[in-house]
């Protein structure tokens, strides 16, 4: 805390003294370049910027100002980047555990973990060591050949899945590069199963659910029924139907003999941390089995021990286990990788040449994921996730008591949690960031908390305090 306070003080002093000077030693050439750019900027604040300076002085982490090194960097780079994201001002240059640092050397408690990605925290030392080791050994030789790590990861994923109590018949894995690709493979595999079961070609429909998010490639996007994401790219892939999440009564009409696959998140992340009821997933699985449809669980965000069990569905009876299970995000802790786990019913219908990828399953990604799966499948870590989730929930309950008009409900499990607000959370997100904490939104007016699974109780308390301060500020 003392270190953090001193960093904040340093950052604040520098911004007061002209908002252009980096306060601590940075060694990279890039920093040096931005220091010189920044130094070339006017250092006498204009009268208009005095108010800004005073405001900034009252904040631990004011967003970098227009004359900062960060702003200079963004001005230089942004024109060359396709504008698919709207980003806040800080430029992150370093991470360690649950913290990130920006170009002005401001420190942030990161409750986003790169959107449920950095489950072991930023720059886990062993992870960093393994990247270097494998980079010096073998990076890529293509899927045309065997390497030691694609198979080792596949085997470990199957073994740990079986041990977890989830997907009791997990048998084989297709390794790719991202969540969208993992779902894309799942959708293709479901179509192939449908073709094998019904060669007439009429068993091709894929069902997904409202508020789902399955990715941005055309197949996974077609299963993501959000007009904001789909409309600019219409028409979607044909043969996709949409149902209502947790609506058991509608399943018979929704999932029919024409259905080859049903894709569902046991917990919808982007959709606002909406949890599927056990009854719904059990009924859905039963309906899939009745019509011979493949059941696909997308655990890209909610899986990999984020709920305190390896898979969010691990507690369900075997009858509700999926035929296909997709994972990504935390599987690589920040290194791009995705995986599609299948049972024998699916695997035996996929033939050589049916699907492929140049980079998927490369030795670097797979060696890292092998280490990550070993760490995240640890029951002690999982018990910790449950305990930490309770710390968050207790804090949220106190905040709900304090701000009953603002906080409608708390949702989620373990360390995938949502605070349903009654208003747009954006001002709270901004106020939290300017107090040194990153949090993201989801769904409609939901604040989403998906921190590193290694976050400590003290860090959670720090986050709850900042959240309280941020909410308080937006009340006046
Ligand atoms: C549940 C779920 N599925 C799929 C995806 C897509 O993953 P990616 O962005 O790696 O393609 C995401 C990403 O947020 C996700 O949360």
Structure tokens at 183: 């779902």
Atom of ligand 1 nearest to the CA of 183: 4
How many angstroms separate the CA atoms of 46 and 89, rounded?
A: 21
Average pLDDT over residues 38-44: 44
Residue 58 pLDDT: 86
Convert the pLDDT of each residue in 109-121 to its tens digit: 999 999 999 999 9
CB 415 within 8 A of CB 388: yes
Atom of ligand 1 nearest to the CA of 180: 11
Cβ–ligand 1 distance for 459 under 6 Å, the answer no
pLDDT, the chain, mean: 91
DSSP H helices, 292-425, are 344-347, 363-376, 379-402
Cβ–ligand 1 distance for 298 under 6 Å, the answer yes
Atom of ligand 1 nearest to the CA of 212: 1
Average pLDDT over residues 171-177: 98
Cβ–ligand 1 distance for 297 under 6 Å, the answer no
* 109: nearest Cα among 120, 117, 121: 121
CB 161 within 8 A of CB 314: no
Gap from CA of 328 to ligand 1 centroid (Å): 8
CB 98 within 8 A of CB 452: yes
How many angstroms separate the CA atoms of 447 and 418, rounded?
A: 5
Convert the pLDDT of each residue in 144-172 to its tens digit: 999 999 999 999 999 999 999 999 999 99
CB 172 within 8 A of CB 345: no
Return all residues near 56 (Cβ < 8 A) that are at least 6 apart: 12, 15, 16, 19, 62, 65
How many angstroms separate the CA atoms of 383 and 38, rounded?
A: 47
Convert the pLDDT of each residue in 348-395 to its tens digit: 999 999 999 999 999 999 999 999 999 999 999 999 999 999 999 999
Identify which of 112, 179, 186, 212 to mutate to test ligand 1's pocket (most ligand atoms within 8 A of the CB).
179
End-to-end CA distance of the chain: 28
Cβ–ligand 1 distance for 121 under 6 Å, the answer no
Convert the pLDDT of each residue in 267-290 to its tens digit: 999 999 999 999 999 999 999 999
Convert the pLDDT of each residue in 48-93 to its tens digit: 467 777 878 889 899 999 999 999 999 999 999 999 999 999 999 9
Average pLDDT over residues 167-181: 98
Cβ–ligand 1 distance for 15 under 6 Å, the answer no
Cβ–ligand 1 distance for 425 under 6 Å, the answer no
**Half-sphere exposure (Cβ direction) of 474: Cα atoms closer than 13 Å:** 22
Bridge partners, residue 174, by sequence: 340
Gap from CA of 438 to ligand 1 centroid (Å): 20
Cβ–ligand 1 distance for 335 under 6 Å, the answer no
Cβ–ligand 1 distance for 214 under 6 Å, the answer yes
Convert the pLDDT of each residue in 400-438 to its tens digit: 999 999 999 999 999 999 999 999 999 999 999 999 999
Using alpha carbons only, what angle is made at residue 397 by residues 395 and 399, rounded to the nearest 5 degrees? 70
**pTM (global) more than 0.75:** yes
Residue 44 pLDDT: 43
Cβ–ligand 1 distance for 90 under 6 Å, the answer no
Higher pLDDT, 17 or 108: 108
* 451: nearest Cα among 164, 275, 420, 462: 462
Cβ–ligand 1 distance for 179 under 6 Å, the answer yes
> If you write DSSP's letter for every residue of 454-466 in order, what string do you get?
T--HHHHHHHHHH
Identify which of 175, 301, 303 to mutate to test ligand 1's pocket (most ligand atoms within 8 A of the CB).
301
Gap from CA of 111 to ligand 1 centroid (Å): 18
Gap from CA of 19 to ligand 1 centroid (Å): 38
Helix (H) or strand (E) holding 159: helix 148-164
For the chain, percent of residues with pLDDT exceeding 90? 87
Is the per-residue pLDDT at 18 higher than 50? no
Residue 49 pLDDT: 67
Fold of 378-476: 3.90.1150
Task: Please state the domain extents for the chain.
Answer: 1-89, 130-377, 378-476
Residue 51 pLDDT: 76
Specify the residue with its C-alpha closest to ligand 1, atom 9: 179
Residue 46 pLDDT: 52
Identify which of 180, 313, 335 to mutate to test ligand 1's pocket (most ligand atoms within 8 A of the CB).
180
How many angstroms separate the CA atoms of 296 and 277, rounded?
A: 16
How many angstroms separate the CA atoms of 303 and 321, rounded?
A: 14
Between helix 457-475 and helix 379-402 the angle, nearest 10°, is 20
Burial level of 5, CB count in 10 A (0-12/13-18/19+)?
Answer: exposed
Gap from CA of 200 to ligand 1 centroid (Å): 33
E-only strand ranges, 75-169 = 92-96, 99-102, 107-110
Report residue 243: phi and psi, to 5°.
-120, 175
The DSSP bridge pattern shows strands 240-243 and 205-209 to be: parallel
For the chain, percent of residues with pLDDT exceeding 70? 90
Residue 38 pLDDT: 43
Structure tokens at 360: 């998927």
Domain 130-377 carries which CATH code? Answer: 3.40.640.10
């Amino acid at each position: 805390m003392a270190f953090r306070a001193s960093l904040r003080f340093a950052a604040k002093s520098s911004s007061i003294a002209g908002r252009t000077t980096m306060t601590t030693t940075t060694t990279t050439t890039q920093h040096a370049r931005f220091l010189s750019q920044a130094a070339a900027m006017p250092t006498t604040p204009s009268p208009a910027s005095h108010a800004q300076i005073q405001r900034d002085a009252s904040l631990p982490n004011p967003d970098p100002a227009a004359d900062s090194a960060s702003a200079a960097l963004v001005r230089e780079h942004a024109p060359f980047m396709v504008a698919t994201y709207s980003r806040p001002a800080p430029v992150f240059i370093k991470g360690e555990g649950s913290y990130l640092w920006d170009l002005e050397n401001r420190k942030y408690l990161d409750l986003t973990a790169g959107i449920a990605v950095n489950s072991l925290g930023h720059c886990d030392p062993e992870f960093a060591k393994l990247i270097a080791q494998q980079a010096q050994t073998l990076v890529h030789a293509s899927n045309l050949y065997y390497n030691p790590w694609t198979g080792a990861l596949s085997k470990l994923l199957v073994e740990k899945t079986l041990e977890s109590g989830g997907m009791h018949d997990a048998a084989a894995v297709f390794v790719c590069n991202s969540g969208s690709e993992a779902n894309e493979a799942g959708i293709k595999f479901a179509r192939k199963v449908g073709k094998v079961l019904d060669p007439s070609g009429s068993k091709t429909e894929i069902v997904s659910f409202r508020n789902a998010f399955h990715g941005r490639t055309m197949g996974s996007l077609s299963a993501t029924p959000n007009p904001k994401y789909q409309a600019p790219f219409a028409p979607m892939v044909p043969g996709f139907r949409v149902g209502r999440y947790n609506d058991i009564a509608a399943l018979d009409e929704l999932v029919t003999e024409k259905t080859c696959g049903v894709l569902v998140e046991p917990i919808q992340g982007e959709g606002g941390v909406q949890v599927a009821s056990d009854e719904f997933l059990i009924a859905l699985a039963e309906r899939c089995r009745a019509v011979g449809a493949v059941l696909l669980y997308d655990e890209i965000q909610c899986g990999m021990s984020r709920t305190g069990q390896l898979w969010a569905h691990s507690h369900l009876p075997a009858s509700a286990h999926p035929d296909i299970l997709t994972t990504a995000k935390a599987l690589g802790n920040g290194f791009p990788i995705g995986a599609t786990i299948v049972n024998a019913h699916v695997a035996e219908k996929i033939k050589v040449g049916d699907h492929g990828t140049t980079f998927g399953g490369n030795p670097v990604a797979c060696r890292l994921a092998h280490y990550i799966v070993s760490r995240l499948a640890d029951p002690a870590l999982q018990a910790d996730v449950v305990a930490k989730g309770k710390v968050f929930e207790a804090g949220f309950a106190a905040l709900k008591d304090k701000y009953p008009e603002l906080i409608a409900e708390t949702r989620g499990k373990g360390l995938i949690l949502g605070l349903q607000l009654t208003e747009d959370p954006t001002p709270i997100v901004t106020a939290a960031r300017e107090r040194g904490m990153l949090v993201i939104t989801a769904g409609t007016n939901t604040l989403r908390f998906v921190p590193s699974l290694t976050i400590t109780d003290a860090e959670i308390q720090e986050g709850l305090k900042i959240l309280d301060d941020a909410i308080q500020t937006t009340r006046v």
